């Protein structure tokens, strides 16, 4: 009898509103996996989902040879990559942040600002080509308005402050171009600060130029993204910034000891202290130590094999060998592992300081089972329901927390 009542409520979105407008929610842990998934699909479609980081712009750049006049068929379902319009709509994704990614090599060759401009134009072209389906977004209100209109929002963030080169006025230049966050470094130390992937410790944290950049971002209301930086750089940022700070695509270091790219408990606590956010990323090497170790061994072997055979990763012969060699060497990682990372942050600092930052199109074939592309967000929501999270909790994780933090950053600027 109890199960019949539960299923009846599920069919009505599992909400019962009394005359006093109090909301009563079902215990989702009592449902079967299939029942939870159906509810998760409904939640995904009715809730705004913001994802802090996707590398679609660079994929478009690669497919079009950097030609801003070429049209990438984003509107159709693709066999490659992790997101297109069809899969986004299937998964309930509403606002994937487009990463304007600047490879560290541009710090040596120059042209960072020009590449950023090109990638921004490519994102804008998607919105101008399909205005009935896609719209740019520069604020939480833009995303909410687009959601009400049934439009997919494309907010933008720069990944790697090398884009501003050595000119602090470029921070405002890119803000005026629609950029709403900036990841301070990427694979190598830059003029702003030190990268977690670089052992050089060029500045010993945030540079003097970097401190001015952080202050300028505060002034403008640009979100400071602390993914990719060293711990020393992070704590310098935390000291300088008057606004909340966000890790737009990082996971929990406790699960991957020694991997500085993920955030430590101490960093998570400091982010929460500043009313910021950790947006959990989906790559297997970020989620699971065994997977990370196996992936590192595979990468080392392939690097040597390519060198011996005078091939690159892009060569067809290399692609065939890579696929065959790697097929059975990586441990199994499931979408539930992403839910574990989210749950860890919640237990450490509370429900208000965690969100989603997939890194789709940026972590290759390392994504966990059940979370391979943008159509699969309901699988993650179902795992959270299984852990006992309420609909209100999930709404916070999907967008509510991010909107609160973003609006506070805007308020600091005002």
Q: Which band of pLDDT confidence, cut at 50, 70 and 90, is reported for residue 18?
A: very low
Contact 96, 360 (CB under 8 A): yes
Task: Over range 242-259, report the average pLDDT.
Answer: 97
Contact 285, 365 (CB under 8 A): no
Comparing 323 with 288, which gets the higher pLDDT? 288
How many other CB atoms are there within 10 angstroms of residue 381's CB atom?
A: 29
Burial letters 168-204, b for 16+ CB under 10 A, else e: eebbebbbebbbbbbbbbbebbbbbbbbbbbeeeebe
SS3 356: strand
Predicted pLDDT of residue 71 = 93
* Mean pLDDT computed over 73-102: 97
Q: What is the rounded average pLDDT of the residues 347-352?
A: 98
Distance separating alpha carbons of residues 48 and 380, to the nearest angstrom: 15
DSSP state of 155: -
Average pLDDT over residues 250-263: 97
Q: Which residues 6+ apart lie within 8 Å of 253 measured at CB?
A: 259, 260, 262, 263, 264, 265, 267
Tell me what percent of the chain is helix, strand and coil, each rounded to the nearest 5: 50, 15, 35
**Which neighbouring-strand residues pair with 193?**
206
Rounded to an integer, what distance in angstroms lies between the CA atom of residue 278 and that of residue 262? 10
Rounded to whole angstroms, the Cα distance separating 188 from 195 reads 5
Alpha carbon distance 293, 333 (integer Å): 13
pLDDT score for 322: 86
What's the mean pLDDT in 250-265? 97
Three-state secondary-structure class, residue 148: helix
The more confidently predicted of residues 362 and 22 is: 362
Q: At 372, is the secondary structure helix, strand, or coil? A: coil
Q: 22, exposed or middle or buried, with CB in 10 Å at 0-12, 13-18, 19+?
A: exposed
The pLDDT-based confidence of 9 (bands split at 50, 70, 90) is: very low
Pairing mode, strands 15-17 and 23-25: antiparallel
Architecture of domain 50-288+333-413 in this structure: Alpha-Beta Barrel (3.20)
pLDDT band at residue 80 under the 50/70/90 scheme: very high
Helices (H), 221-361: 231-240, 265-273, 284-287, 289-308, 316-326, 336-349
Q: What is the pLDDT of residue 328?
A: 82
Q: So what's the pLDDT on residue 313?
A: 77
* 302-311 average pLDDT score: 91
Which residue would you say has higher pLDDT here, 9 or 254?
254
What pLDDT score does 369 carry?
97
Q: How confident is the model at residue 25 (pLDDT cuts 50, 70, 90)?
A: low
Please determine, for residue 5, whether its predicted confidence score (pLDDT) is greater than 90: no
Domain ranges for the chain, please list them. Answer: 50-288+333-413
Looking at the chain, the number of H-run helices and the number of E-run strands are 18, 12
Give the DSSP letter string of 204-247: SSB-HHHHHHHHHHHHHTPEEE-TTB-HHHHHHHHHH-SS--EE
Per the CB < 8 A criterion, the answer to whether 352 and 404 are in contact is: yes
Say yes or no to pLDDT of 3 above 50.
no
Residue 320 has pLDDT above 50, yes or no: yes
Whether residue 342 is predicted with pLDDT greater than 60 in this model: the reply is: yes
Instruction: Output the six-digit token pair for 110.
Output: 């120059």
In whole angstroms, give the CA distance from residue 162 to residue 188: 10
Q: What is the mean pLDDT of residues 150-154?
A: 98
Strand partners, 113: none
The position carrying tokens 């900036």 is: 182
Cα separation, 179 vs 398, whole angstroms = 21
CB atoms within 10 A of CB 289: 15
What is residue 13's predicted lDDT score, i.e. its pLDDT?
Answer: 44
- Which are the contacts of 273, defined by CB distance < 8 A and separation ≥ 6? none
Q: What band does 323 get if pLDDT is binned at 50, 70 and 90?
A: confident
Region 16-27 average pLDDT: 49
Between CA 233 and CA 227 the distance in angstroms is 11
């Amino acid at each position: 009898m109890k199960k019949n009542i539960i299923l009846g409520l599920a069919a009505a979105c599992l909400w019962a509103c009394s005359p006093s407008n109090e909301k009563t929610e079902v215990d989702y842990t009592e449902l079967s996996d299939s029942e939870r998934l159906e509810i998760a699909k409904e939640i995904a479609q009715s809730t705004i989902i913001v994802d802090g980081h996707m590398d679609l712009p660079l994929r478009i750049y690669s497919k079009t040879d950097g030609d801003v006049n070429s049209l990438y068929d984003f509107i159709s379902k693709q066999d490659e990559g992790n997101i297109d319009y069809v899969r986004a709509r299937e998964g309930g994704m509403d606002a994937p942040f487009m990463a304007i990614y600047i490879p560290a090599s541009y710090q040596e060759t120059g042209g960072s600002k020009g590449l950023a401009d090109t990638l921004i134009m490519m994102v804008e072209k998607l919105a101008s080509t399909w205005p009935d389906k896609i719209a740019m977004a520069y604020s939480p209100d833009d995303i909410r308005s687009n959601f009400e209109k049934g439009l997919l929002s494309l907010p933008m963030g720069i990944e790697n402050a090398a884009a501003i080169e050595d000119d602090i006025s470029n921070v405002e230049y890119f803000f005026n171009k629609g950029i709403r966050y900036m990841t301070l470094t990427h694979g190598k130390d830059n003029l702003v600060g030190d990268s977690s992937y670089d052992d050089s410790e060029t500045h010993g944290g945030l540079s003097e130029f970097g401190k001015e950049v952080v202050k300028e971002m505060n002034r403008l209301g640009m979100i400071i993204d602390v993914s990719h930086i060293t711990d020393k750089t992070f704590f310098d940022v935390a000291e300088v910034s008057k606004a909340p700070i966000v890790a737009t695509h990082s996971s929990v270091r406790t699960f991957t000891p020694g991997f500085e790219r993920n955030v430590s408990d101490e960093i998570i606590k400091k982010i929460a202290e500043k009313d910021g956010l950790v947006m959990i990323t989906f790559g297997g090497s970020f989620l699971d130590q065994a997977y990370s170790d196996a992936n590192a061994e595979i990468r080392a072997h392939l690097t040597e094999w390519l060198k011996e055979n005078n091939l690159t990763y892009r060569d067809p012969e290399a692609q065939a060998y890579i696929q065959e060699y790697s097929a059975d060497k990586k441990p199994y990682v499931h979408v539930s592992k992403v839910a574990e990372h989210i749950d860890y942050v919640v237990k450490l600092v509370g429900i208000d300081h965690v969100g989603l930052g997939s890194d789709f199109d940026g972590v290759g074939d390392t994504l966990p089972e059940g979370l391979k592309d943008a159509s699969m967000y309901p699988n993650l929501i179902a795992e959270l329901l299984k852990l006992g999270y309420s609909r209100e909790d999930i709404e916070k994780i999907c967008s509510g927390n991010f909107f609160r933090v973003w609006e506070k950053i805007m308020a600091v600027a005002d």
